[in-house]
Structure 1
Amino acid sequence: MIKDSLRKNGIGKYLKWLGIFFKCCIAKVILLGLKKKYSHVWVFAERGVDARDNALHLFRYVQKNCPQINAYYIISKDSPDRKNFASEERLVDFGSWKHYLLYLAAEAKVSAHIYGGAPEHNLFLRMAKVKLLKKIFVTGKYIFLQHGVTQADGPWLHEDKVHFDLFITVSARETKYIIDCFGHAPEVVKTVGFARYDALPLKHSPSKKILLMPTWRHFLSGISAEEFKKSKYYQNICGLIRNERLQAILKEYGYQLIFYPHFELQKFLADFDGQNEQTVFASFQSFDVQKLMIDCDLMITDYSSVQFDFSYMKKPIVLFQFDREEYHAGHQGVGYFDPDRDGFGPVGLTVEQTVDLVAGYLERNCELETRYAERIDSFFKYNDAENCKRNFEVIQEILK
């Protein structure tokens, strides 16, 4: 395992892992004398640098409604998202000794990401495969809240790759797919809804704003800005943003286009062009995704699971799928959710088709068609404000 890690990740990453492992060993020894203080701990986290997702909303619910729970949120000391908390009393700096102690002692580890909140999630994934290391370090219940609705196969989420004690979903179709294709046991996968959905209003006041939010691509990871600007992704997104007809339509109807790239591609935001008075480029540091979705009348995305959040609010979407074959071959395969058959909005395969679809919605004041509203209603099991409550109850159940 060490040789494989050394070969694959390089000496720097391996030495970092070794340091983290050594710190974990010390923390386990310290915990022997602090069992009472660190008992019945629940830790919440996302990537360790942010607080905008399901874990944040569930953490808030627990703090407000169940103060007896010994709950903490793990987040980096310099994260801009620390402002999302009313108090820092229960915040723990990522990488601190308290972080190590709490994470290793926690009876419930709650995150929207795989081993989110772990001192190094890839290290913990590997330790979980070694029986002795798992028994010592990978303890407690692992609750996976999901970052987005599962639409297709994700080998990294298969049960033989990662173990969860709880896997949260929003739809019966999604649950069946995860059980049948990912190998997780039926008692693990619970259709109780996403915690963050409780903050999504079911009534909307028009704002004359459009959110452009495409997802990322695995095959664009690790490339330079120069290489990125040659990609089909960059050329199509820029082609849409700069499209003269789209810009004219925005001006005619008085709309603003807000472009928010996926977290993994935010580093290339400055390389895009086309920003003007009616086109805003939104950074991760300055804009909150959920607030943008709540505020906007229409969403343009591609394959991103954010379409489910937006559609949950019964607002229209346009799917700009300019690279279907490339995306399914190099990022994620075809799953149970077919955008043409099941999607919550029309699909544009080219810039011009997509502009036509956007123009149609602006002409109709962004009114959602009946057929898409019916698809939305049939997909989600719940459409209420009790998602956090159900999440909390199923976590309590597995801790009994």
Structure 2
Amino acid sequence: MTEVHKLLTIVFETSAKLDRESEVYRRLISARLKYEPFFDLQITSENLTTSALRNIVDALETKYVLFVRDTHKIPTNYVATMIDYLRSRTVYMAEPHMYTAGIPKDVTITKVEQAYFYARDADIYGVAFNTGRLRDAMDAVGDVDRSALYISFRLYWSIGTVKPLPVGYSVATNTKAAIGNLLDPATTRLFPMVSTNSIEVRTYMVRYLAIYLRGLRGVKKTAVSTTHLRDLIKSFKLDKLVSLVQPLQPFEASWISWLAGSDKSTFLYKQLTAADFYLQFSDAANPVAGDVDLYDIEFSDMNVAINKAYLPHEQRDSYANPAVYDFYSRPMSPSSLMIFFDRPMQADDNAEYLYEYFTSHHPEYTHAYFALNPKSTDWPRLEAKGFNLIPIFTRDFYEKFLESDLVVSSQIYNLRYKGKSLENSRFVYLQHGIQLNDMSDWIISKYFDVFVATGKLEADYLEKYAPVETLNSGLPRLESLEKTTQEGQHLLFMPTWRFNLNQVSNEHFTSTEYFRAIDGLITDRRVLAYLDKHDVTLHVKLHPNVESRASLFHFSQRVVKSDDSYREAISSADFVFTDYSSAVLDASFIGIPIAYYQWDSKDFFQDQPYESRLDYRSEGLGPVFDTSDSLIEYMTGEKYLDDSSEYAQRNERFFEGVDPKRINAKIVDRMLSL
């Protein structure tokens, strides 16, 4: 009897340990109740590289194949919709509506337009491929990276438009847009040179090119040639779509414009008060002179040098054009409109403290506004303090942004309205934390006129990339931060987050080293005995990403979850420790001893979108512990109370150049001089 093959194989890519309680796995399994005769579930912990993918596809006997990753999201009707569609017809491929965030309840209302195409992560996941046709395409274009296979498949089979099925699929992250896409080192081309006029496919291609270049800024080496990139841009007219790249990846937009064969090597990036900031691209063998060397990127056929130059306003194409308004033309004055904000739903950060200082010391500036969501719990508090509040990201907010002479914030958002953006107007970035990690690629990409630093070490680091924009003043919240005394002692633990745990189930979460390290510490009998004996409480300030899992931790009468603000939690503590968070530096600034408990120091930065630039052991402002035993011995022995000249000297060096009494005044002087 001839064996009947199933219709579809779902390849489920998971971590080394399968999370059987994860939502995506349970939904795949539940689909078997009705559709098991039609699909197989193949689980793999192998990273799906191009070669691994080829091996899987070659071994399949089902008509279609679909790839799902355990970090992604699918609705309950995902498998059913796919199978019902594939059973009734023969197609090259079938795909759902694609998202990087949550899946709407009614996906059919999604506007499938150019903005949708550009936002989509055009990887292999979520799409049901005709197995035979995928095998054929891989035989022809199998030298491309796996992440480009979907686009290459559509190019090869001339699939210009696709109507998504009435179901959604979410990759649950937009990380690639922020940190780029890292290709298999052996990849020599991005796509096959198969012509298309499809705006869908070309939009996917220009986004892919942008995130490839973004990732390349990190690794600085590729087997791809600039000749191939230029051919792609020319053949598919990708330079005509560079306006799609500009809002979120302006650095890459300039790079694409240069690769397109422009006779220009210098591209305006950010208008400033005294001069403008330009990016310059050239052959590293004959580089264009600049002020700050940024990158030397090794392609297979040449090295590309990229630098930063501060050039006179007169070089700007629009400088003498009366049709283009210069948002710097009006000097800062008491009639200037200013907008301050922290996060949309939360104040209590540097913008709030600077706003309060500014409005009290400069009452002549009567058009200073603080932006916040009216639903924020901070709104009534700030309203009672007399803040001039406006609802953030509303029509009124954007109209005021258009009229404003200055924006001041602890966050960077992509503000654009009627031709105005942070690219062509004044912006003071107060930042939220301190740059302990290497965020240089991120810093270089952002628009700011002033970047506030805290201490010489951070300022020296920032000045490598932004010598004109860096201001070593200190963060505004530090000026009024003081250690408070209250009845009863408490210690404070402030663990940060791990990016690879965003989508795991609670069952999987409680099996991770992250959970075990934290929960093991707060339930350790030695810790609890010490707290009881000395009538001390240990407060645990969970990262916002962990708040929803707070009930999984075993808090007790002596170990409590802190709901205080960071400011309140830190200022009232006698000892503060973390794993990697820069928030503990606020404590060190006001003389509270700190320490680091880094149980996963060997692996931590492998899963983070950045690398450390600080050697915690030789430069940290407190001791570093790898094991709970060593931390507990230090804490229960109250060794943090011992004076340490070593850490005192490090603390003084770290905060060098910051006058605790003139932090806000120094920032205000700078921002009014813009």
Q: Could you say which TM-score interval applies, normalised by the shorter chain?
A: 0.7 to 0.9
- Corresponding residue SS for 1:280: strand
Of the candidates 179, 203, 210, which is equivalent to residue 491 of structure 2?
Answer: 210
More strand, by proportion: 2
Q: How many residues align?
A: 354
- Corresponding residue SS for 2:542: coil
Check if 1:379 corresponds to 2:649: no
Check 1:224–1:92 CA distance in 2 against 1; reply closer, same or farther (3 A cut).
Answer: farther
1:42 match: 338
Distance 1:12 1:234 in 2: 22
- Corresponding residue SS for 1:318: strand
Check 1:154–1:221 CA distance in 2 against 1; reply closer, same or farther (3 A cut).
Answer: farther
Distance 1:94 1:13 in 2: 24
Indicate the RMSD between aligned Cα atoms, in angstroms.
3.0
Any idea what the Cα deviations from partners look like across 1:208-252, whole Å, max 9, x if unmatched?
110111112222234443333232211111111111111111111
- Corresponding residue SS for 2:651: helix
Check if 1:162 corresponds to 2:446: yes
**What aligned pairs does 1:360-379 form with structure 2 within 5 A after superposition?**
360-361=637-638, 366-379=641-654
Give the deviation of 1:370 after TM superposition: 2.2
Of the candidates 461, 470, 477, which is equivalent to residue 189 of structure 1?
Answer: 470
2:272 match: none
2:394 match: 96
Distance 1:108 1:368 in 2: 44
Give the deviation of 1:202 after TM superposition: 6.2
**Normalization by structure 1: what TM-score?**
0.80
Of the candidates 277, 288, 292, which is equivalent to residue 557 of structure 2?
Answer: 277
Check 1:203–1:52 CA distance in 2 against 1; reply closer, same or farther (3 A cut).
Answer: closer
Of the candidates 306, 310, 326, which is equivalent to residue 583 of structure 2?
Answer: 306
- Corresponding residue SS for 2:619: coil
- Corresponding residue SS for 2:576: strand
2:425 match: 140
**2:541 corresponds to which letter in structure 1?**
Y
Of the candidates 522, 538, 542, which is equivalent to residue 261 of structure 1?
Answer: 542
**1:249 corresponds to which letter in structure 2?**
Y
Check 1:68–1:93 CA distance in 2 against 1; reply closer, same or farther (3 A cut).
Answer: same
Give the deviation of 1:57 after TM superposition: 0.4
Distance 2:428 2:508 in 1: 38
- Corresponding residue SS for 1:211: strand
**Normalization by structure 2: what TM-score?**
0.49
Any idea what the Cα deviations from partners look like across 1:239-285, whole Å, max 9, x if unmatched?
11111111111111221000111223322222222x222111123xx
Give the deviation of 1:167 after TM superposition: 0.4
Check if 1:397 corresponds to 2:397: no
1:175 match: 459
2:567 match: 290
Check 1:89–1:291 CA distance in 2 against 1; reply closer, same or farther (3 A cut).
Answer: closer
Of the candidates 238, 243, 248, which is equivalent to residue 529 of structure 2?
Answer: 248
Does the aligned pair in 1 maintain the 2:484–2:572 contact within 8 Å? no
- Corresponding residue SS for 1:50: coil
Distance 1:305 1:365 in 2: 19
- Corresponding residue SS for 2:605: helix
Distance 1:170 1:220 in 2: 31
Does the aligned pair in 1 maintain the 2:578–2:584 contact within 8 Å? yes
Of the candidates 119, 123, 138, which is equivalent to residue 5 of structure 1?
Answer: 119
- Corresponding residue SS for 1:167: strand
Any idea what the Cα deviations from partners look like across 1:373-392, whole Å, max 9, x if unmatched?
12111210224222111111
Distance 1:10 1:99 in 2: 31
Any idea what the Cα deviations from partners look like across 1:127-154, whole Å, max 9, x if unmatched?
6xxxxx8943444212111111111212
- Corresponding residue SS for 2:390: strand
Does the aligned pair in 1 maintain the 2:577–2:594 contact within 8 Å? yes
**2:432 corresponds to which letter in structure 1?**
H
Any idea what the Cα deviations from partners look like across 1:302-347, whole Å, max 9, x if unmatched?
1110121010011111211011122222226544421110111111
1:26 match: none
- Corresponding residue SS for 1:74: strand
Any idea what the Cα deviations from partners look like across 1:22-56, whole Å, max 9, x if unmatched?
xxxxxxxxxxxxx9xx9722111112111111111
- Corresponding residue SS for 2:385: coil
- Corresponding residue SS for 1:270: helix
**1:377 corresponds to which letter in structure 2?**
E
1:107 match: 405
**1:105 corresponds to which letter in structure 2?**
E
Does the aligned pair in 2 maintain the 1:315–1:368 contact within 8 Å? no
Distance 1:222 1:337 in 2: 29
Does the aligned pair in 2 maintain the 1:212–1:257 contact within 8 Å? yes
Does the aligned pair in 2 maintain the 1:54–1:194 contact within 8 Å? yes
**1:152 corresponds to which letter in structure 2?**
N
- Corresponding residue SS for 2:527: helix
Distance 1:323 1:243 in 2: 19
Does the aligned pair in 2 maintain the 1:167–1:189 contact within 8 Å? yes
- Corresponding residue SS for 1:300: strand
**2:426 corresponds to which letter in structure 1?**
K
**1:311 corresponds to which letter in structure 2?**
S
Worse-superposed segment, 85-94 or 384-393: 85-94
- Corresponding residue SS for 1:345: coil
Unaligned runs of 5+ in 1: 15-20, 22-34, 116-120, 128-132
2:358 match: 62
Check if 1:346 corresponds to 2:620: no
Give the deviation of 1:355 after TM superposition: 0.8
Distance 2:520 2:472 in 1: 39
Give the deviation of 1:105 after TM superposition: 2.8
Does the aligned pair in 2 maintain the 1:315–1:367 contact within 8 Å? no
Distance 2:559 2:173 in 1: 40
More helix, by proportion: 1
Distance 1:52 1:89 in 2: 13
**What aligned pairs does 1:314-329 form with structure 2 within 5 A after superposition?**
314-329=591-606
Unaligned runs of 5+ in 2: 1-113, 123-168, 175-246, 248-329
Check if 1:75 corresponds to 2:372: yes
Give the deviation of 1:372 after TM superposition: 1.1
- Corresponding residue SS for 1:296: coil
Return the structure number with greater relative CO, CA threshold 8 A, min gap 6: 1
Worse-superposed segment, 310-319 or 364-373: 364-373
